[in-house]
Structure 1
């Protein structure tokens, strides 16, 4: 199972490290290895959230996610994305941007760093919306019940998450963006840029997330028609297969996954410049890391880990919220990628530990869902 799931990641790792040695010697090998570890540590919460969405999709779209999706993730976000940033910020063509990346790496890094406020605002707002909508949704299983229960009641207010996100964006533009960090330790007023990029991130979430939800809801009618057949299968002792997303619903869910992955990769791409400004080594290191994130996503789906450890998804979304805040703060202040990665790992680790405690408690009580039925607060 492990080899089947992570096999391609192992192959890509071997090829990537060999390419790193051939291109940059053993120094290149070290840089690629460090970047790979950086990407994995920063994106573990991404894998958990992806798994929660991917398990709803049928086998065909899961394969699309693992083939076309990985091409978009590795080559699109880890190679093309930095070039596009430079092309837009410097107002030059993509070919010129590639030439700049290969011949004038210091200038290339400078342009990407100066474009960070708009990147952080876009990604921060997109991730913040994911976190807020999760937080305001009334869920049967709650991790930090003392927080999630009152917030679920507040979530009944229409468009509350959008209002909060816009307030956060406005405050960020008036504070962090007024003295945005630039290359060389200088500062510049990027309030207008941050506002525009943040609104673009919010609109992107509303469009892609809204279309995904719309087509997913359409399937509920089909699920209702399947209900009687499922009940009959249960009475006959036959296995019952869940209804999987397909067609338009799966397509927009796939699109949502790719935009989500792009938002997660922002901090990894920008953080990589603290280690190297060589676009080839950067693509190799971040690409290897992205492969492991994809493999981990599939592993979580196939093992049913999210069903067994029910608070993992909660921990991942809290990590998303933390990452959103960190991205907005980095508009003005520099924050180590080590801190960003550790926050995500700690939150997911705590949620895993809480899930293990819950499973042991339920096993001791002799039944599932006892705590929720009895109204006992769950989690830590």
Structure 2
């Protein structure tokens, strides 16, 4: 099971580290290894959330996610995206931007740092929308019951999460963005840039999430009628299936996963510049980490981990919310990548511990004939 799920990750790790050592020496080997660990720690919450979406897909689309999806993640976000940032902000062609990254890495880093406010606003608002739509929904299990239950009631108001997100963006644009962090410790007014980028992040979430939700609903309706369609087809001498409908639904879920992964990649890509300016070392290290994120996602799906540990998804979404806030804060204040990594890991670890505790309480209640009301309440709420 481990080799089947992590085989490609192990292979890419060996190839990437060997390439770094052969072409650039042991320093590159160490930097690539550090970047790999950084990407995994920053994106573990991404894997947990991905698993919640991926488990709805069939095995074919899970394979697509691990093959075509990884190409998009590695070459799109970890290599092409930083180049595009410089190309747009410096008004250079993509080839010129690559030459700048190779010939003048310090200048390349300066340009990426100056583009950080727009990147952080877009990614922060996209991630904030994910968190808000999770926290404003009524769920069978609540991890922090005293907070989640009243918020679920507020979520009944149409468009409430969008309103909260836009209010947060307006507050950020009029306070934090008025003195945005730039290279060399300088600051500049980036209010307009942050406002436009943040709105783009919200619109991207609404568009991709809306499309995936639409096709999910179509898929559920199709599954309810699957038996009738198959019977009718057999009587007519045909052998139809719901592959087309399922394919469309899975395709838009796949797009949603890719946009989600891209948003999670923002902090990793920017944080990598704190370690190295070498674009190819960054691509190798972050690419290796991205492979493990996908393998962890598949492992969580196949092992049913999200079902066994009821609060793990809660912890991941709280980590998403924390990351969104940190991204918005980082528009003005430079934050070390260790801070964002520790937030996510800590919240997921706490949710995992709460899940184990709830499982033990459930087992004790079952063995003891029901236990006390207090224990049952604790198992449901996680507190």
Show the counterpart of 1:189: 189
Show the counterpart of 2:69: 69
Instruction: Within 5 Å, give how 1:1-380 maps onto structure 2.
Output: 1-225=1-225, 246-366=246-366, 377-380=380-383
Check the 8 A contact 1:56/1:244 in 2, yes or no: no
Moved more, 106-115 or 369-378: 369-378
Check the 8 A contact 1:101/1:108 in 2, yes or no: yes
Q: Within 2, Cα distance between the matches of 1:369 and 1:283?
A: 54
Q: 1:369 to 1:209 in 2, by over 3 A?
A: farther
Q: Within 1, Cα distance between the matches of 2:227 and 2:322?
A: 39
How far did residue 365 of structure 1 move?
Answer: 1.2
Check the 8 A contact 2:361/2:376 in 1, yes or no: no
Q: Within 2, Cα distance between the matches of 1:369 and 1:296?
A: 35
Check the 8 A contact 2:362/2:376 in 1, yes or no: no
Q: 1:101 to 1:329 in 2, by over 3 A?
A: same
Check the 8 A contact 1:216/1:245 in 2, yes or no: no
Check the 8 A contact 1:58/1:244 in 2, yes or no: no
How far did residue 7 of structure 1 move?
Answer: 1.0
Q: Within 2, Cα distance between the matches of 1:67 and 1:165?
A: 34
Gaps of 5+ in 2: 229-242
RMSD in angstroms over aligned alpha carbons? 2.2
Gaps of 5+ in 1: 229-242
Check the 8 A contact 2:36/2:289 in 1, yes or no: yes
Q: Give the secondary-structure state (helix, strand or coil) at the position aligned to 1:91.
A: coil
Q: Within 2, Cα distance between the matches of 1:246 and 1:26?
A: 48
Q: Within 1, Cα distance between the matches of 2:254 and 2:32?
A: 29
How far did residue 246 of structure 1 move?
Answer: 2.2
Q: Give the secondary-structure state (helix, strand or coil) at the position aligned to 2:332.
A: coil
Q: Give the secondary-structure state (helix, strand or coil) at the position aligned to 1:32.
A: helix
Q: Give the secondary-structure state (helix, strand or coil) at the position aligned to 1:335.
A: coil
Structure 1 runs of 4+ aligned residues shifted over 4 Å read 367-377
How far did residue 59 of structure 1 move?
Answer: 1.2
Q: Within 2, Cα distance between the matches of 1:227 and 1:132?
A: 37
Q: Within 1, Cα distance between the matches of 2:216 and 2:20?
A: 43
Check the 8 A contact 2:218/2:245 in 1, yes or no: no
Check the 8 A contact 1:46/1:293 in 2, yes or no: yes
Moved more, 256-265 or 140-149: 140-149
TM-score (ref. length: structure 1): 0.93
Q: Give the secondary-structure state (helix, strand or coil) at the position aligned to 1:194.
A: helix
Q: Within 1, Cα distance between the matches of 2:245 and 2:341?
A: 32
How far did residue 227 of structure 1 move?
Answer: 9.3
How far did residue 372 of structure 1 move?
Answer: 11
Q: 1:282 to 1:201 in 2, by over 3 A?
A: same
The count of corresponding residues between Structure 1 and Structure 2 is: 366
Check the 8 A contact 2:179/2:187 in 1, yes or no: yes
Check the 8 A contact 1:134/1:317 in 2, yes or no: yes
